[in-house]
Amino acid sequence: MAHTCQIEVRWGDSDRLGHVNNVLYAEYAQESRVRFFREAVTIGGPLHPLVVRKLSFDYLRPVTDETAPLTVELTIPKVGTSSFAVHQVMRDRTGAVCAEVDSVMVAFDPVTEQAVPLPDRIREQLRTHAPVDVTS
């Protein structure tokens, strides 16, 4: 099940061509991930910080002030012992896909500077946001 949120495009996000600057997509992806954890995952105890290990973008069509806001659909395609994958699809107000973002998040102990296992309860909650297999 995908988690969905709306991201507003701010006045200063556009470049001189009138398109949202490519670096802002990383901020939009971060905002969507933060909302996902606030709205869809119950921490229920201490959790080590999560850090981004990998982040990649496919820019498919420009976002402008006229095509904003963006709707971001977030799914968790893979959950490991200490890390999980995040897939985000960014759509404009017409529903057109503007960008796809893939990242890997890792539970991290800042004292040891090492990856640590995710709690079982968190891994189970993350698994409930796996993509729906439309071919079945």
CATH of domain 3-127: 3.10.129.10
- Per domain, the residue ranges of the chain are 3-127
- The pLDDT of residue 46 is 63
Mean predicted lDDT score pLDDT of the chain: 92
| Mean pLDDT on 98-121 | 95
Q: Is the pLDDT of residue 62 over 50?
A: yes
The pLDDT tens digits of the residues spanning 25-58 come to 999 999 999 999 989 887 766 677 899 999 999 9
The pLDDT tens digits of the residues spanning 110-121 come to 999 999 999 999
SS3 labels along the chain: CCEEEEECCCHHHECCCCEECCCHHHHHHHHHHHHHHHHHCCCCCCCCCEEEEEEEEEECCCCECCCCCEEEEEEEEEECCCEEEEEEEEECCCCCEEEEEEEEEEEEECCCCEECCCCHHHHHHHHCCCCCCCCC
Q: Is the pLDDT of residue 7 over 50?
A: yes
Q: Is the pLDDT of residue 108 over 60?
A: yes
- Burial bucket for residue 18 (CB in 10 Å: 0-12, 13-18, 19+): exposed
- Tell me how far apart the alpha carbons of residues 108 and 49 are, in angstroms, rounded to a whole number: 6
User: Of the given ranges (72-76, 105-109, 131-135), which has the lowest mean pLDDT?
Assistant: 131-135
Q: What is the pTM of this model?
A: 0.91
